[in-house]
Amino acid sequence: MVAQLSAKRKAKAPVQSAHKKAKTVHLSANELPWKTVSKAHEAGLDAGLEGIMELEEVDGVDVVYEETEAGRIVKFSVKEDEPKKKNAKKEKAIAPTQQEQTEAGPSRSSVEPAAVGERPEEQAFDSKTLLPSWHQFSLHPQLNRTLYAQSFSNPTPIQAKAIPAASKGKDVIGVAETGSGKTLAYGIPILHYLLTQAKAKPLVQKQRRPTRALILAPTRELALQVSSHLNACLNVVDVNTAAVKQEEEEPDLGLKARSKGKGKAKAAPAAGQPSSPKLPPLVSVAAIVGGMSAQKQRRILERGVDVLVATPGRLWDIMQDDDALARDIKSLKFLVLDEADRMIENGHFAELDNIIRLTLKQSGDETIEPELDFDDDGNVIPKETAVGAHGETNDELQTFVFSATLSKDLQRNLKKRSYPNRKKNKPATTLDDLLLRLDFRDPEPEVIDLSPEGGVVSTLRESRIDCLTNDKDAYLYYFLLRYPGRSLVFLSSIDGIRRLMPLMELLQLPAYPLHSQLEQRQRLKNLDRFKSTQNSILLATDIAARGLDIPAVDHVVHYQIPRSADVYVHRNGRTARAMRSGFSLLMVSPDERRVVRALLGSLGRQEEEIPDMSIELYLLDKIKARIQVAKDIDSLQHKVKKENHEKNWLKEAAAAMEIEVDSDMGLSDDDGAAAAIPSKHQRKTTNAKTAVLKAELKELLAQPLIARGVSTRYITSGSRPIVDDYISGEYHENMLGLKKTQAGQDVVPRKARKVVKKEEYEEWKGFES
């Protein structure tokens, strides 16, 4: 129970007025413009100040002590004109439009002083002047403010279509290219609704917030990203700082990618608000994902979250012990499936199916009990007694399904909901099944399909290299040296990443791994390092293929070919986002060629459409030498590691069995010739070999790679004089004789490609026959 207790008021310390000319009025304490401040959460006041439920403060007040016959009295003097002048400019910029006032609820006129307890989020914003392209949507001022601060001056095409439809209460199926702002296309309508609904509740209220929106995402990283993307829209920003910065920056070219720290303004208290105390958010967003403390997530849920972004597995785990949450899911206002097709791939089918089942509109014969029963596989057991017993329906629910890849057939079926046997209590078995059992309340969901022809984003440059499987390392190394930048390299297996990582380290390339067998903390750390290092490499499985919005990925490399056309589209979508240019390279070995042809065919494309990457073969040979030495070192190191591991294992096993290792098993260090464990001598030899190879590699790495025809003695001579490149600063630091270029400049049309090498030809022939 929350008791409403008397507020503690604090006035600023007495100050002698410096502005003698300003008109001052004396007010009683109750007439002063008090503002509510939150209790300093960080200072731990939450727990310690029983009885003090609200703090208030007041600015610009002088306290004057006057001696009267009745004794000393206190007068509060307020300067009348100053504050108004000072804030006039700001107030003009954020004056509300008539429309906004209606949408966002009553807000003050620009000249009215801040109302007691007004929240910065609710201060009006002049979207007509500052964000004309967004004005038509009549968004909550808080959203306008953050859009402005992030320089999102225009809605993206999918946003322009989805926001009005969703705001009208329609269900939306949105398909648009990767990096086109789908998160905000569904996020803005949700936040707008919740913000306009939210009433500034007393800070003391400990009441649990019911979850109103559930966003399901296939991977933990994507869920965390969506949550932070939406949270960024709820940060209070100082619009005036933003305006100044905007003028200083170059003109907006249309779509500017949002990146942390690159926004126009820092999160800051809105104009006229105190800077230190932090109010609890009007609307809260949190992520519930696997691999992170379930207990902490449960605690967050106990307090309640308005918008929950979750991966199905963890959500289902938590829901099984949390009836309140299960009830919330039954009466959601918004359900979003972001990249639903990937959720199926991830093996979360059953959980997703169960969660979706709870969101079905309850009808007379399909009621699901709030208290759930589960079978051994964690599936909901429909209760017989529940039939028609409760009659509660959730007609309110709006469903949004977004992806960059949803087949036209599925879109059509979803719209028509032409699913012959929609037996809702039977588990779904395919994606189509699952999506078709979504209970759209809207008789005609809005299908917005803006996907580009063949799935290719207009700012993406694609290319391919045909090479033998064994040569992929060399080609990859060549590419990474030749085109420095942020490169995301996709592999199909975790083993492949484990094999490549030590090679990258030995070759002194800054590479980080990302796959499902890493601890979640390590995954996030590696992702962060990749994001924050301009020249870096992320070796990732397809957990990084969808949705991840990493600012400025220059290259996507398909080291191993994607297993479907959709994955190809999504992997490529990690670059060329938000109208930036990007580059992708497909590495195709002879045995992958047929699959590539089929894959492109299913996108309605020909192989010839993807040009070849041009390669300096002379340099490639030198690169192969480096790779070979690195591989030799790695295999020696691997051998030593394996032997040490076996030795330790044997020792531990022997100790557990209380056996003398030396005498009983002949595994002493000295008689290694006969034993599984190498002798000291063998180990020494291996170490010496490793040291020699490391020295050799060091020397190779220290020498520049010199292209054919370059004279290092006389830079003005040779068939490839490099003097001009030096003068213009265009010379390539790692590859002498080559110019610094973008990868996209070094592609050649496929028809013009060279004849395959003899040994490749042999292999191809074998495959093709």
Ligand X SMILES: Nc1ncnc2c1ncn2[C@@H]1O[C@H](COP(=O)(O)OP(=O)(O)OP(=O)(O)O)[C@@H](O)[C@H]1O
Only segment of 176-184, 406-414, 449-457, 479-487 that touches ligand X (CB under 6 A): 176-184
Among 159, 463, 536, 560, binds ligand X (CB under 6 A): 159
Is the Cβ of residue 182 or residue 605 nearer to ligand X in the bound state?
Answer: 182
Separation CA 582–CA 557 (nearest Å): 11
* 190 binds ligand X per the rule CB under 6 A: no
Among 152, 334, 483, 731, binds ligand X (CB under 6 A): 152
Q: Are 596 and 565 in contact (CB under 8 A)?
A: no
Separation CA 606–CA 222 (nearest Å): 32
Per-residue interface string for the shown chain with ligand X, residues 317-356, x marking contact by CB under 6 A: ----------------------------------------
Positive/negative CA dihedral, 327, 331, 334, 337: positive
Q: How are beta strands 307-310 and 213-216 bridged, if at all?
A: parallel
Q: How far is the CB of 553 from ligand X (least distance, A)?
A: 11
Per the structure block, which two tokens stand in for 447?
């299908």
Phi, psi for residue 739 in degrees, rounded to 5: -85, 155
Q: Are 164 and 177 in contact (CB under 8 A)?
A: no
Separation CA 640–CA 688 (nearest Å): 12
* 161 binds ligand X per the rule CB under 6 A: no
Q: How far is the CB of 519 from ligand X (least distance, A)?
A: 24
Q: How far is the CB of 119 from ligand X (least distance, A)?
A: 25
Only segment of 8-16, 252-260, 528-536, 555-563 that touches ligand X (CB under 6 A): 252-260
C-alpha distances (whole Å) from 722 to each of 184, 716, 741 are 49, 7, 15
Q: How far is the CB of 403 from ligand X (least distance, A)?
A: 7
* 145 binds ligand X per the rule CB under 6 A: no
Is the Cβ of residue 99 or residue 228 nearer to ligand X in the bound state?
Answer: 228
* 255 binds ligand X per the rule CB under 6 A: yes
Q: How far is the CB of 229 from ligand X (least distance, A)?
A: 6
Is the Cβ of residue 348 or residue 626 nearer to ligand X in the bound state?
Answer: 348
Separation CA 551–CA 423 (nearest Å): 43
Separation CA 462–CA 351 (nearest Å): 37
Is the Cβ of residue 258 or residue 348 nearer to ligand X in the bound state?
Answer: 258
Q: Which of 177, 225, 259 is nearest to 451 (CA)?
A: 177
Q: Are 269 and 236 in contact (CB under 8 A)?
A: yes
Q: How far is the CB of 8 from ligand X (least distance, A)?
A: 41
User: Strand, coil or helix: what is 176?
Assistant: strand
* 223 binds ligand X per the rule CB under 6 A: no
Separation CA 123–CA 141 (nearest Å): 7
Instruction: State which residue has the least CB distance to ligand X.
Output: 258
Per the structure block, which two tokens stand in for 400?
């949004």
Is the Cβ of residue 217 or residue 693 nearer to ligand X in the bound state?
Answer: 217
* 235 binds ligand X per the rule CB under 6 A: no
* 183 binds ligand X per the rule CB under 6 A: yes
Q: How far is the CB of 547 from ligand X (least distance, A)?
A: 4
Only segment of 29-37, 179-187, 590-598, 632-640 that touches ligand X (CB under 6 A): 179-187
Q: What is the DSSP letter of 105?
A: -
Q: How far is the CB of 541 from ligand X (least distance, A)?
A: 17
Only segment of 172-180, 317-325, 691-699, 731-739 that touches ligand X (CB under 6 A): 172-180
Is the Cβ of residue 105 or residue 157 nearer to ligand X in the bound state?
Answer: 157
Q: What angle do CA 381, 386, 392 make, to 5 degrees?
A: 115
Only segment of 237-245, 253-261, 329-337, 383-391 that touches ligand X (CB under 6 A): 253-261
Only segment of 150-158, 209-217, 300-308, 704-712 that touches ligand X (CB under 6 A): 150-158
Separation CA 374–CA 177 (nearest Å): 39
Only segment of 15-23, 57-65, 173-181, 496-504 that touches ligand X (CB under 6 A): 173-181
Cβ-based neighbour number of residue 580 at 10 Å: 19
C-alpha distances (whole Å) from 712 to each of 183, 482, 630, 718, 732 are 53, 19, 26, 9, 14
Q: Which helix (H) or strand (E) holds 295?
A: helix 294-303
Q: What is the DSSP letter of 694?
A: H
Among 36, 180, 572, 584, binds ligand X (CB under 6 A): 180
Is the Cβ of residue 137 or residue 349 nearer to ligand X in the bound state?
Answer: 137
Is the Cβ of residue 547 or residue 737 nearer to ligand X in the bound state?
Answer: 547
Among 445, 496, 573, 718, binds ligand X (CB under 6 A): 573
**The sheet that has 446-450: what strands, in order across it?**
285-288, 307-310, 213-216, 334-338, 398-403, 172-176, 446-450
Among 192, 258, 486, 531, binds ligand X (CB under 6 A): 258
Per-residue interface string for the shown chain with ligand X, residues 535-554, x marking contact by CB under 6 A: ------------x-x-----
* 179 binds ligand X per the rule CB under 6 A: yes
Q: How far is the CB of 551 from ligand X (least distance, A)?
A: 7
C-alpha distances (whole Å) from 187 to each of 266, 309, 335 are 21, 11, 11
* 182 binds ligand X per the rule CB under 6 A: yes
Residue identified by tokens 């009745």 is 70
Q: Are 11 and 76 in contact (CB under 8 A)?
A: yes
Among 170, 256, 626, 732, binds ligand X (CB under 6 A): 256
Among 577, 605, 622, 732, binds ligand X (CB under 6 A): 577
Q: How far is the CB of 337 from ligand X (least distance, A)?
A: 13
Is the Cβ of residue 407 or residue 469 nearer to ligand X in the bound state?
Answer: 407
Q: How far is the CB of 573 from ligand X (least distance, A)?
A: 4
Q: Which of 316, 388, 383 is nearest to 355 (CA)?
A: 316
* 227 binds ligand X per the rule CB under 6 A: no
* 156 binds ligand X per the rule CB under 6 A: yes
Is the Cβ of residue 380 or residue 527 nearer to ligand X in the bound state?
Answer: 527
Among 96, 120, 141, 155, binds ligand X (CB under 6 A): 155
Residues forming beta bridges with residue 55, ordered by sequence position: 8, 37
C-alpha distances (whole Å) from 584 to each of 93, 479, 561, 565, 744 are 44, 11, 12, 14, 9
Among 95, 561, 576, 578, binds ligand X (CB under 6 A): 578
Separation CA 362–CA 238 (nearest Å): 45
Q: How far is the CB of 627 from ligand X (least distance, A)?
A: 33
Q: What is the DSSP letter of 757?
A: P
User: Strand, coil or helix: what is 587?
Assistant: strand
Among 178, 273, 284, 451, binds ligand X (CB under 6 A): 178
Is the Cβ of residue 182 or residue 464 nearer to ligand X in the bound state?
Answer: 182
Only segment of 152-160, 320-328, 627-635, 760-768 that touches ligand X (CB under 6 A): 152-160
Among 181, 189, 582, 718, binds ligand X (CB under 6 A): 181
Phi, psi for residue 77 in degrees, rounded to 5: -100, 130
- Interaction residues for ligand X, span 395-454 (CB under 6 A): 404
* 220 binds ligand X per the rule CB under 6 A: no
Per the structure block, which two tokens stand in for 190?
């949700």
Tell me, rounded to whole angstroms, the distance of Cα 202 from its chain centroid. Answer: 33
Per the structure block, which two tokens stand in for 657?
């069995």
* 257 binds ligand X per the rule CB under 6 A: yes
Q: How far is the CB of 574 from ligand X (least distance, A)?
A: 7
Separation CA 467–CA 558 (nearest Å): 13
Per the structure block, which two tokens stand in for 716?
């003005």
Interface residues with ligand X (CB under 6 A) are: 152, 155-156, 159, 176, 178-184, 255-258, 404, 547, 549, 573, 577-578
